[in-house]
Amino acid sequence: MAREGAERPPEETLSLWKREQARLKARVVDWDTEAWQRDPDFSGLQRVGGVDVSFVEGDSVSACVSLVVLSYPELEVVYEECRMVTLTAPYVSGFLAFREVPFLVEAVQRLQEKEPDLMPQVLLVDGNGVLHHQGFGVACHLGVLTDLPSVGVAKKLLQVDGLEKSDLHKEKIRLLRAGEDTFPLVGGSGVVLGMALKSHDHSTNPLYVSVGHRISLEAAVRLTRACCRFRTPEPVRQADIRSREYIRRTLGSHGPPALRQERIQKAQRSEACPRGGLGEPEGEDRSPQDHSPDPGAELDEPSEAPRDSGNLKNRAVMMSVSTDQSLYRAKNTP
């Protein structure tokens, strides 16, 4: 989800983020709080949410925030919202939530106001939960602020607490024979921070599942597995597909005007130097941490978002959010 910003926030903002992160971390619940979580078939679970933040190519601050709600177990989209936003806080490793979560919270709040009967009973987040530098990633942050059960589902291993992409880790991945195989992610502290999950028989790269809020790791892994038609769980996958499609519809296939002009200039340089002496390959201006398509996804997502399937009218799961949004806006003045 992250894309690097150009500026680092002032030290006073970082100190504020650290204090707020510690305060919210104390509220994390890492066990099952709902009856459906303890049921082998998730009986009682009817709505699963997914969130995603997709960036405009060549732009480190313009992004599309998407929230989708899927019926369970059908995994059909019953609600979606996509909205373009401008991220004012810079990217700082370990503090991604302060850059992105405020917009996700607002999306959940709008759903609560517009369609309370469609509120999700759990959120799947493209990112980490307790598998994090400070044990409080995006999935935890969003779960605590919305008071919704949440699960972190990451495509890449966040190397914290001694976890690393070592030969041993690669060997464990190789030994994941079939879809649903797992192995625990045990940090140097001896704490199990998450699970590596082979979510599909034809997937070579696992997902990294961790607790966000109000759910156990065991239930989080089972739920992630149950929501996978492809490598990525369907709520996250649909949020990603729809946010990218929204960007294409909103900005056109060639992106914002500044980027279009840049591409024209590159094309002109390439024509003047057909062997590429002055031309640059398209995409070189992208940050390594852009939200780009996952190279490990063996099963490609469709290029167009499928049609929605109607609405579910069920009992609302109420949300309690109490937060000062000003905490999540990086100040430009020291």
The proportion of the chain whose per-residue pLDDT surpasses 70, expressed as a percent, equals 73
Sequence spans of domains, the chain: 11-328
Q: What is the pLDDT of residues 198-221, one digit of tens each?
A: 998 888 899 999 999 999 999 999
- Single pTM value for the model: 0.77
Q: What is the pLDDT of residue 227?
A: 98
pLDDT at 255: 53
**pLDDT of 60:** 85
- CB atoms near residue 134 (< 10 Å): 14
How much is the pLDDT for 51? 98
Which stretches of the chain score pLDDT less than 50? 6, 254, 259-260, 263-264, 266-290, 292-334
pLDDT at 263: 46
Residue 55, beta-bridge partner list: 63
What pLDDT is recorded for position 226?
A: 98
* Assigned CATH topology for domain 11-328: archaeoglobus fulgidus dsm 4304 fold (3.30.2170)
